């Protein structure tokens, strides 16, 4: 997918998608959106953890302004970026955004769609859309308040200012900061921790996290009932009791999503 601006590295239990359009600081254009849809289609069929990151010390500088300038109201109603970011958010297994440098506009909204965000101190998050005569319409107005609270989301979205990695950590927008050279390794370490757990329990945990408030606690009880009757629950608990947790390894073989 290199000609789409998205490089994809596939591993047994994870996929790394690298935004790579150096001439535009990894701006998200239609070709990259199409490539992200392809990645999502594969991960919907064969669930794995997804790591999103950017090449060249930049996550994504935003949506491609040259394309945005030519889009019409009909294009806005199609939700070009909204649709793919929602698909990323709904993937069965966790999504990790590893952010270095700029994550602005649509790039920030892509990061907001992840389940876990980590960054470098030099990361810069912001939604400058109002300065361009538009709004942040691909998730920022509802996802960002869920992550950092209404007041802080309003600050970012209404002023269009940027915050750095330290502020993003203090606000809870990211969960950890790492030096640039260690960022991808830290993302892989998170993926390793996820892989060590039971896949289906992870899938159901994510579903519960994304479920509508009105469905709680009934949805957790149904998911727990399903897991209580699974062979893997008994195997893992037996291994824990016999070995006090030593050597408990994930049982691979895919996920029933």
Catalytic positions: 109, 129
Q: Which H or E run contains 103?
A: strand 102-104
135 with 108: CB under 8 angstroms? no
In whole angstroms, what is the distance from residue 144 CA to residue 38 CA?
26
130 with 111: CB under 8 angstroms? no
Residue at token pair 């390894």: 249
In whole angstroms, what is the distance from residue 190 CA to residue 180 CA?
16
In whole angstroms, what is the distance from residue 93 CA to residue 206 CA?
7
First to last CA, the chain: 26
Report which DSSP code applies to 124: E
In whole angstroms, what is the distance from residue 87 CA to residue 38 CA?
11
């Amino acid at each position: 997918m290199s000609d789409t601006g998205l490089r994809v590295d596939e591993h047994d239990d994870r996929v790394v998608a690298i935004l790579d359009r150096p001439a535009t600081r990894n701006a998200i254009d239609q070709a990259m959106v199409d490539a992200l849809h392809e990645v999502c289609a594969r991960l919907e069929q064969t669930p794995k953890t997804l790591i999103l990151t950017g090449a060249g010390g930049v996550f994504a500088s935003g949506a491609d302004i040259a394309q945005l300038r030519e889009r019409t109201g009909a294009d806005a109603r199609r939700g070009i970026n909204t649709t793919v970011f929602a698909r990323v958010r709904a993937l069965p297994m966790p999504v990790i955004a590893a952010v270095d440098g700029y994550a602005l506009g649509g790039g920030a909204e892509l990061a907001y769609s992840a389940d876990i965000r980590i960054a470098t101190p030099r990361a810069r998050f912001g939604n400058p859309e109002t300065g361009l005569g538009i709004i942040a319409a691909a998730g920022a107005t509802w996802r960002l308040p869920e992550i950092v609270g209404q007041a802080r989301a309003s600050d970012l979205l209404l002023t269009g200012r940027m915050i750095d990695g330290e502020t993003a950590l203090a606000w809870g927008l990211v969960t950890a900061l790492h030096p640039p050279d260690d960022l991808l390794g830290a993302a892989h370490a998170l993926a390793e921790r996820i892989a060590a757990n039971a896949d289906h329990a992870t899938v159901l945990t994510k579903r519960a996290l994304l479920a509508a408030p009105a469905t709680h606690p009934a949805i957790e009880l149904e998911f727990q009932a399903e897991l209580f009757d699974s062979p893997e629950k008994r195997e893992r608990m037996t291994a824990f009791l016999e070995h006090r947790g030593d050597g408990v390894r994930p049982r691979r073989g895919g996920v029933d999503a």
